[in-house]
Amino acid sequence: MYKILLSTITTALLLTTANAKDDHGHDAHKHGDHTKKAAVHWGYGKDAGPLKWGDLKSEYFMCKEGKNQSPINITSAYEVEKKPLKINHKAGGEEVIFNGHAVQVNYKAGSSIDVDGHVFELKQFHFHNPSENTIDGKSFPMEAHFVHADKDGNLAVLGLMFVEGEANAELAKLIEVLPKKAGEKNKLKTVADSNGLLPKEKDYYRFTGSLTTPPCSEGVIWAVFKKPVSASKEQLEAIASVLGHANNRPTQPINARIIGEID
Ligand SMILES: [Zn+2]
């Protein structure tokens, strides 16, 4: 019995290692001693993808137990009396990194948003292809997440949808130095300014949610712009091709949440 169990565990370990390689295209052996513990690499494939995240590691339990998870299909929004977002962003995107899960632009300090009097600083923005949130069931070819944190680490994320159309000058700045492999980090030749990406009309949907990647922590303030912005087919393909496969978690149940609509 013991032997059978052991061989089952060994097989599971081997499978986990193989899956990690499939999901990220790099060798799990480099990341630690897999004979001591299974390499727990989450990804978007069948074996270590969104439906399995909650079982990969105990720290990821919210991915399967959470009741306020992201992304969601934004629908049945209520008009609510809330102040418009105060966006105090400056140019500050200095480097672009491919972290193995998404293309991300790291932002220097000094840009923030004010949500009902609470200030969150912009840390980075990154991309999902296709979009994670959907609006009235509609998916978009790409969604950017502008991740902000307050001094205690609480998060507020702005979601921005992209449609295929005219080329986007701000995206061009990071596409010209786009990383090719996981861990690669390149300095932008021209500092990116998130204001160049955000829509002119800043109507948004507001709700609470979670990180859309493990550990799927909740308590995240979400604001998704109603108006999409455009990027060319080539630009959308350039960003999507870094990862080579979709990186959108499926939409999650809304449960008891109320979606606010702020014009
Ligand atoms: Zn994201």
Each residue of 141-165: pLDDT tens digit? 999 999 999 999 999 999 999 999 9
Report in angstroms the alpha-carbon separations of 193 from 51, 147, 202, 219: 35, 14, 16, 27
How close is the Cα of 149 to the center of ligand 1, in Å? 14
Is the separation of the CB atoms in 194 and 125 below 8 Å? yes
Q: What is the pLDDT of residue 10?
A: 35
- Among the listed residues 101, 126, 145, 148, the single catalytic one is 101
Q: What is the pLDDT of residue 22?
A: 37
User: What span, in angstroms and rounded, lies between the C-alpha atoms of 141 and 234?
Assistant: 12
CA 216, 218, 221 angle in degrees (round to 5)?
Answer: 120
Is the separation of the CB atoms in 152 and 213 below 8 Å? no
Residue 169's SS3 state is helix
Identify which of 217, 74, 67, 59 has the alpha carbon closest to the alpha carbon of residue 132: 74
Q: What is the pLDDT along the chain (263 residues), one digit of tens a residue?
A: 333 333 333 333 333 333 333 333 343 333 433 344 455 689 999 889 999 999 999 999 999 999 999 999 999 777 777 778 899 999 999 999 999 999 999 999 999 999 989 999 999 999 999 999 999 999 999 999 999 999 999 999 999 999 999 999 999 999 999 999 999 999 999 999 999 999 999 999 999 999 999 999 999 999 999 999 999 999 999 999 999 999 999 999 999 999 998 88
How close is the Cα of 53 to the center of ligand 1, in Å? 15
How close is the Cα of 263 to the center of ligand 1, in Å? 24
Q: What is the pLDDT of residue 94?
A: 96
Report in angstroms the alpha-carbon separations of 62 from 22, 79, 214, 260: 24, 30, 8, 24
**Cβ-based neighbours of 168, under 8 Å, separated by 6 or more:** 162, 197, 229, 230, 231, 232, 235
How close is the Cα of 83 to the center of ligand 1, in Å? 24
pTM for the model stands at: 0.85
Residue spans in the chain of domains classed CATH 3.10.200.10: 73-262
> Does the annotation count 26 as an active-site position?
no
How close is the Cα of 147 to the center of ligand 1, in Å? 8
Q: What is the pLDDT of residue 27?
A: 39
Domain 73-262 has CATH 3.10.200.10: yes
User: What span, in angstroms and rounded, lies between the C-alpha atoms of 187 and 229?
Assistant: 25
Q: What is the pLDDT of residue 39?
A: 55
